[in-house]
Structure 1
Amino acid sequence: MKNIFLLKTGGSCMNVLLVDDEPLARDELAYLLQQNITVNTVFKAEGVKEALALLFAHHIDLVFLDISLNEENGFTLAKELHQLNTPPLVIFATAYDKYAVQAFDINAIDYVLKPFDQERINQALQKAKLALSTRLPQGPPSSPAPQKDNQFITLTNDERTVVIKTREILAATVENGELTIFTLDGKKYVSHETLVWLRSHLAAQHFIQVHRSAIVNIDNIRELQPWFNHTFILIMTNNQRIPVGRSYLKVLKTRLNM
């Protein structure tokens, strides 16, 4: 379950996401981060799906990422992050030292071993702060960079490139490794691109991820209906039905003012 801790502010502060399937490890690391003034907000996720939902819903500067996540692998998430417009920095936080070389091969900025201690976490945060200061333009917190809003995306298959207006996208789903984009005129386009790739090209004010395999145009949601086992399903304006993942429901309800 997602937890959010509001931490100290001061100077240049970072929003941090902890991804670890062990509750005690998450709580321990969150406590150590609380002691450092460079941290603003800490988000917590148990696995890749929940982490991606938080990354799409919030601005995250830094991810502390475990490698072993139940049946998932932290490297899967780390590789997906590179498809975002402004990917967060990654620090691996794990009990295993044998993956260090692989971690730095995918541009992790640090590798912290369990059990954690305050001095080592402070060192990692200082390294992240320096990396962010060289990567991001300096400016007051009240003046964020404008959000990317691409007017078009292109899909190329079999030497044919299709141009799609992003505002005409109604929904997109992934099944068996294929991305299918549904448009307002009733057409659909299939690609081998990922959902993360598509999400990085869409404006957050108009689109929202509602399931690990689905993104929808929030302006074309008609109904949110209860489904089985206390879950929900979206009915779009074209009557398409999109399931809502449990870990995405809270963010969706907030966007819909529910």
Structure 2
Amino acid sequence: MSIRAVVVDDERFSREELIFLIERYPSIEVIGEADSGEVALMKTIQLQPDVLFLDVEMPKMDGMEVAKSVRELKKVPEIVFATAYSDFAVEAFRHNAVDYLLKPFDEEQLSHTIERLEKKLIGQKSYQEKTWMPTKLAVEEDGDIRYLDPNDILYVYREGRVTKVVGKARSYEINWALKDIEARLTPFSFFRIHKSYLVNLNYIDRLTPWFNGAYHLELKGHEEKLSVSRNYVKNLRNQLEL
């Protein structure tokens, strides 16, 4: 279990030095880096890191502005500020920063910072993983509620205002939005192949080129071919292939 980090600094050598020091700790994985506040915000939205190692003084959007902006996100990362100046310390802790690293980086200070992150984040992740999660998808049928095992669902798609769940034996209609079902089913090996389709990766049998970068998908035990949008092909192959 690792802490996912993004390192932000407009100075390349300073950024590379901090990444080098951080990667010596097996509990932390650097999943991205940014050379400006704007890129840092974009990477935070895309990658959803657990922590930002954030330089304070940057042109245009500085570190304090980034820290303020990420507080508006659904998943708020922890903040560790890194700067050559101690003047910003008081303001940094107003943003609930875990720590405040001074340049040039002191390895002992960084070690204490990593310890704080481990206590705060790894313990929290362990709790979340142990938290019970629903394992059935509820569909209403003739006034009754039927509970479907996700492993028995081949795919789900949106048609008009109705979402249809295609199982091994039959199909069901539900009123949920596709994005809501996707949030529930993603942990059970479901993947979006089109803006209107989710498929169970365990039933994929063949992927065939179609036209204009799109593909046809064949599922085990199912005759109908599904269309894979070219926007999803690369990520789908990454999910399926060793």
In structure 2, stretches of 5+ residues that fail to align are: 135-178, 184-193, 197-229, 236-242
Higher percent of residues as helix: 2
Aligned to 1:155: none
Q: Is the aligned partner of 1:83 residue 2:87?
A: no
Q: Is the aligned partner of 1:94 residue 2:96?
A: no
Q: Is the aligned partner of 1:107 residue 2:78?
A: no
Q: Is the aligned partner of 1:26 residue 2:21?
A: no
Q: Is the CA contact 1:47–1:69 (under 8 Å) kept in the aligned structure 2?
A: yes
Distance in 1, matches of 2:69 and 2:113, equals: 22
Q: Is the aligned partner of 1:61 residue 2:38?
A: no
AA aligned to 1:55 is: T
AA aligned to 2:53 is: F
Q: Is the aligned partner of 1:122 residue 2:103?
A: no
Aligned to 1:45: 34
Structure 1 residue 255: deviation in Å?
A: 5.5
Distance in 2, matches of 1:22 and 1:138, equals: 37
Q: Deviations over 1:206-231 (max 9, x none)?
A: 9xxxxxxxxxxx949xxxxxxxxxxx
Structure 1 residue 257: deviation in Å?
A: 3.9
Distance in 2, matches of 1:138 and 1:83, equals: 24
AA aligned to 1:92 is: F
**SS of residue matched to 2:87:** coil
Distance in 2, matches of 1:129 and 1:73, equals: 26
Structure with more contact order per residue of length (Cα contacts < 8 Å, sep ≥ 6): 1
Distance in 1, matches of 2:128 and 2:57, equals: 37
TM-score where L is the length of structure 2 = 0.53
- 1:211-250 correspondence to structure 2 within 5 Å: 219=195
AA aligned to 2:111 is: N
Distance in 2, matches of 1:61 and 1:100, equals: 21
**SS of residue matched to 1:83:** coil
Q: Is the CA contact 1:32–1:117 (under 8 Å) kept in the aligned structure 2?
A: no
Structure 1 residue 40: deviation in Å?
A: 2.0
Residue-pair matches, total:
147
AA aligned to 1:45 is: A
Structure 1 residue 127: deviation in Å?
A: 0.5
Distance 1:98 1:133, change over 3 A: same
Q: Is the CA contact 1:60–1:88 (under 8 Å) kept in the aligned structure 2?
A: yes
Q: Is the CA contact 2:7–2:30 (under 8 Å) kept in the aligned structure 1?
A: no
Q: Deviations over 1:129-185 (max 9, x none)?
A: 1111454453559x9x89xxxxxxxxxxxxxxxxxxxxxxxxxxxxxxxxxxxxxxx
AA aligned to 1:120 is: Q
4+ residue stretches of structure 1 with deviation over 3 A? 133-137, 253-258
AA aligned to 2:60 is: E
Larger Cα Rg: Structure 1 or Structure 2?
A: 2
Structure 1 residue 117: deviation in Å?
A: 2.6
In structure 1, stretches of 5+ residues that fail to align are: 1-11, 147-201, 207-217, 221-252
Structure 1 residue 97: deviation in Å?
A: 0.3
AA aligned to 1:113 is: L
AA aligned to 1:77 is: V
Distance in 1, matches of 2:232 and 2:32, equals: 18
Aligned to 2:2: 13
**SS of residue matched to 1:68:** coil
Distance 1:79 1:119, change over 3 A: same
